[in-house]
């Protein structure tokens, strides 16, 4: 189901993306030129730069013969791939409570289904099934998963889309602290193709933010896989004096040997897993000792069914799981696990303003803390009053 809305009070200046993301493909000048011509958006679309008059989103619904309907935001391309890879027929007529069986059938049916779009589609369906189970039981998904282990979790402010000009970033970092955040993550914009001056700009960002908030606030940084082995080694060595809590995706996700090398050589904690899939993918990261923190995306990695298994592998290996996610259903997963395993959650400030504009009751940190919704299932409900159009997609 695709819906659009014209939400009141959604500030364009708050939600527009000021800076684009670093990309591993920026080693090619022609690729950088194409991104620049598209307005600085990595995905060649003006969506992030145009003024927000309307917000749209796709939601996957799982309907049952007893009147209970599970729902999950559509995720990365899920709506099309549910049809393309014939996932709907696998679920029709099945018992939604047998979610482990359903996940296994969907996964085994896909000869190229271990990653990418098809796993995103399976993930979204799995999350919608868990929402169905929670609603049928009149319990939160967190309770269905065995939680909660606590009622709330600290959130870190994820500054995706904010200006990385040192002066701007320092000002915004201080505002985050005033709002109650005790941790925040910033995104690097420079990589190997930018040479020595680009490295200098990255370090200026780090210094400015650290000077602004001091050493009582945790700082994390994300390179979005955009660095090479040599460049990452130089950057991480220079970053050490600023004591980052972790650096996320310094190099390509598939280059596990380099991640392990950087982790051991620099002593900087590495977070990895945003673009990894299923327990088998995370098992490789663990076995290679390539990460200190695993950061799965719930709607990519296989849904709640796989998250539980990824978390178990991490706990047995003495690692932490801090999901990288703008889908706030992940709070149910975090609060179903030990605080030692999942000590903090990510809050994507700008992305969540957009994505929650379509929901009846959004989830926003209070003084840097996220509290578990008490509503059944995932606790997500569309705001019928602001929806201006609705189109049901034929899966």
Does domain 147-371 bear CATH number 3.40.710.10? no
Q: Specify whether the CB–CB gap between 106 and 98 falls below 8 A.
A: no
Bridge-based pairing of strands 2-5 and 55-63 is antiparallel
Q: Are 89 and 81 in contact (CB under 8 A)?
A: no
Residue 276's closest CA among 114, 127, 124, 106? 114
Cross-strand pairs, 189: none
The pLDDT of residue 44 is: 43
pLDDT for 19 equals 61
Structure-block tokens of residue 98: 């047998």
Q: What angle do CA 65, 69, 71 make, to 5 degrees?
A: 150
pLDDT at 50 over 50: no
What pLDDT, on a 0 to 100 scale, did the predictor assign at position 51? 52
- Residues 6+ positions from 372 with CB-CB distance below 8 Å: 140, 142, 148, 151, 152, 331, 332, 335
Q: What is the mean pLDDT of residues 220-243?
A: 97
What is the pLDDT of the chain when averaged over all its residues?
90
| Sequence ranges of the domains in the chain | 147-371
Quick check: 244 pLDDT over 80?
yes
Looking up tokens 């991640």 gives 259
pLDDT (mean) for 268-297: 97
pLDDT value of residue 10: 65
Query: Which strands sit side by side in the sheet containing 55-63, from one edge to the other?
Result: 69-73, 55-63, 2-5, 387-391
pLDDT at 46 over 50: no
Closest C-alpha among 68, 59, 44 to residue 133: 68
pLDDT tens readout for residues 363-394: 889 999 999 989 999 999 988 888 888 888 77
Question: How distant, in Å, are the alpha carbons of 203, 224, 240 from that of 234?
Answer: 11, 17, 10
Sign of the alpha-carbon dihedral angle for 141, 145, 148, 149? negative
* Structure confidence at residue 318 as a pLDDT band (50, 70, 90): very high
At 16, is the pLDDT very low, low, confident or very high (cuts 50, 70, 90)?
A: low
Average pLDDT over residues 237-250: 98
Instruction: State the pLDDT confidence band at 8, using cuts at 50, 70 and 90.
Output: low
Helix (H, G, I), strand (E, B) or coil at 371: strand
Confidence of residue 13 (pLDDT cuts 50, 70, 90): low
Residue identified by tokens 């700082």 is: 219
- For 294-305, b/e burial (b = at least 16 CB within 10 A) is bbbbbbbbbbbb
- Backbone φ/ψ region at 338: left (φ over 0), alpha (ψ -120 to 50), beta: beta
What gap in Å lies between CA 76 and CA 73, rounded to an integer? 9
> pLDDT tens digit string along 76-112?
566 677 877 789 999 999 999 999 999 999 999 998 8
* Range scoring the smallest mean pLDDT among 110-114, 126-130, 134-138, 150-154: 110-114
């Amino acid at each position: 189901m695709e819906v659009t809305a014209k939400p009141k009070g959604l500030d364009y200046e708050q939600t527009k993306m000021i800076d684009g993301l670093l990309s591993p493909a920026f080693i090619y000048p022609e690729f950088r030129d194409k991104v620049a011509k598209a307005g600085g958006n990595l995905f060649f679309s003006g969506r992030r730069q145009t003024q927000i008059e309307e917000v749209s989103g796709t939601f996957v619904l799982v309907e049952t013969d007893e009147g209970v309907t599970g729902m999950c935001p559509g995720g990365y391309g899920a709506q099309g791939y549910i049809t393309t890879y014939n996932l709907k027929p696998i679920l029709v007529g099945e018992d939604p409570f047998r979610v482990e069986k359903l996940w296994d059938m969907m996964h085994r049916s896909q000869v190229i289904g271990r990653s990418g779009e098809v796993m995103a589609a399976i993930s979204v369906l799995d999350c919608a099934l868990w929402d169905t189970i929670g609603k049928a039981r009149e319990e939160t998904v967190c309770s269905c998963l065995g939680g909660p282990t606590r009622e709330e979790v600290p959130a870190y402010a994820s500054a995706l889309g904010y200006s990385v000009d040192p002066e701007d970033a320092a000002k915004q970092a201080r505002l985050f602290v005033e709002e109650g955040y005790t941790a925040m993550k910033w995104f690097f914009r420079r990589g190997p193709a930018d040479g020595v001056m680009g490295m200098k700009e990255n370090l200026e960002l780090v210094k400015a933010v650290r000077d602004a908030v001091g050493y009582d606030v945790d700082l994390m940084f994300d390179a979005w896989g955009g660095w090479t082995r040599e460049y990452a080694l130089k950057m991480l060595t220079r970053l050490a004096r600023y004591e980052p809590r972790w650096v996320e995706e310094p190099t390509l996700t598939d280059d596990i040997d380099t991640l392990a090398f950087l982790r051991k050589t620099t002593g900087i904690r590495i977070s990895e897993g945003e673009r990894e899939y299923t327990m088998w993918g995370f098992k490789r990261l663990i076995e290679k000792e390539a990460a200190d923190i695993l950061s799965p995306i719930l709607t990519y990695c296989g849904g709640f069914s796989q998250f539980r298994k990824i978390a178990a592998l991490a706990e047995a290996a003495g690692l932490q799981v801090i999901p990288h996610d703008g889908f706030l259903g992940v709070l149910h997963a975090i609060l179903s696990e030990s605080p030692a395993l999942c000590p903090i959650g990510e809050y994507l400030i700008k992305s969540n303003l957009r994505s929650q504009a379509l929901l009846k009751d959004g989830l926003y940190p209070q003084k840097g803390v996220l509290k578990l919704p008490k509503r059944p299932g995932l606790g997500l409900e569309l705001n019928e009053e602001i929806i201006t159009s609705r189109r049901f997609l034929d899966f």
